[in-house]
Structure 1
Amino acid sequence: MLNKHGEPFRILFVCTGNTCRSPLAESLARRAVDRFGWGHVEVRSAGVAAVDGTPASPGSIRVAARHGLDLSVHRGSRLTGDLVEWADLVLIMSPRQMPYAETAGGAGKVSLITDFSEGRESTEDSMLGGVFDPMGGDDEEYEQTYLQLAELIERVLARLEPLVAP
């Protein structure tokens, strides 16, 4: 199945290290697109300061497992121009990632995930929030980040449904 334009639709989630937020977002989105039967929607993640091959953080692995997701096989990827070119939509977790994603070729397809989920364009004024980075935090902080991402992913996919639903 392809999107309304006859092509796969590709979403790239970006955070800083590709060990906490973006792997959780990728896993949540992958589970949701499977649930919706959107086999033509592809999902990946990367980090602006990621070291290729780094595993997900222990806190992310634990919170994912509590919610039925397996991040134990995740290996980090650094954000590259090729990844940005691959994507139709690049969703960043923090305003600080915008310049990296745009410099990598993402102008016009990069949005702060919190803005996109609300149907807002990411502007300097709107990009005050984002998703809390739980790196180094306790399990409760990872849980809060997971819950925020779970809600955001549902809203993002609801916005994309008219474009990608079969």
Structure 2
Amino acid sequence: MHVLFVCTGNVCRSVIAERLTRALADEHGLYELTAESAGTRALVGFGVEPLAAQTITGLGGNASGFRSRRLKPELVDRADLVLAMTEQIRDDIVAHVPGAHPRTFTLLQAHRIAKVSGARTVDEMDRARNDLALVGRENIADPVGLSPQKYCEIGDQIAETLAPLLLWMCMPVGRNTDERGRPRLVVLPGGRQDHPPVVDETRIDRQA
């Protein structure tokens, strides 16, 4: 499965998601899981924002060798799943590439649909998207210009939704689920150790 992550500038949120996906694929031997990213208003050729690079490294990813790029239809066309960081970005993608609607979600939306409905494929998520009640907005805020702590919080939010979603979709049935068949949240290697993980009956969270 090839995943495209989209934010605005392609130097922070979408890069974090792309590089964590690559780390996740390497850690779990998911060699068919690939990822790239783009921005709707990206300045082409910029590297990862420094605090975003620190966040990627702290979460077990590799931030090196990245250059930002502008979103183009061909990037959307070759993706099996398109995950936007905000509802507005998701809607902009679909407006420019209408055929992408069935496979385009916000990251938080896709996580919610998979968690609530048990959908394991993009087609199943698309069929379930209008059957589930939505409470609140499903946006991941842009931390550019904010504090290092905010970058940590955004990095954790991305990791804590992205990891269980992709493992749920890409790993064989019966693996990475709890006793009730729901996806577990895993901790990527190399995560921050400022506080011990908080454990409840359904997931393991990494706290910034």
> Which TM bucket (shorter chain)?
0.7 to 0.9
Once the two structures are superposed, the pairs formed by residues 47-126 of structure 1 within 5 Å of their partners are: 47-105=39-97, 106-119=100-113, 121=129, 126=134
TM-aligned CA deviation for residue 41 of structure 1: 1.6
Tell me the TM-score normalised to structure 1 length: 0.84
One-letter amino acid of the structure 1 residue matched with residue 82 of structure 2: V
Seen in structure 2, the aligned counterparts of structure 1 residues 91 and 100 have a Cα distance that, compared at 3 Å, is: same
- Name the residue aligned to 1:29: 21
Q: How many residues align?
A: 156
111-120 or 18-27, larger mean C-alpha shift: 111-120
Q: Which has the larger radius of gyration?
A: 2
- Structure 1: gaps spanning 5 or more residues: 1-8
Q: Percent identity?
A: 28
Residue 4 of structure 1 corresponds to none
User: Deviation digits for residues 41-81 of structure 1, max 9, x if unmatched?
Assistant: 21101111112211111110122233343323211111110
Aligned to 2:5: 13
Q: Does 1:138 align with 2:147?
A: yes
Amino acid at match of 1:141: K
Amino acid at match of 1:113: L
Cα pair 1:64 1:70 within 8 Å, conserved: yes
Per mean C-alpha deviation after superposition, the further-off stretch among 14-23 and 129-138 is 129-138
The aligned amino acid for 1:94 is: T
Structure 2 unmatched runs, 5+: 114-127, 174-208
Take 1:116 and 1:99, find their aligned partners in 2: how far apart are those partners?
Answer: 14
SS in 1 for 2:69: coil
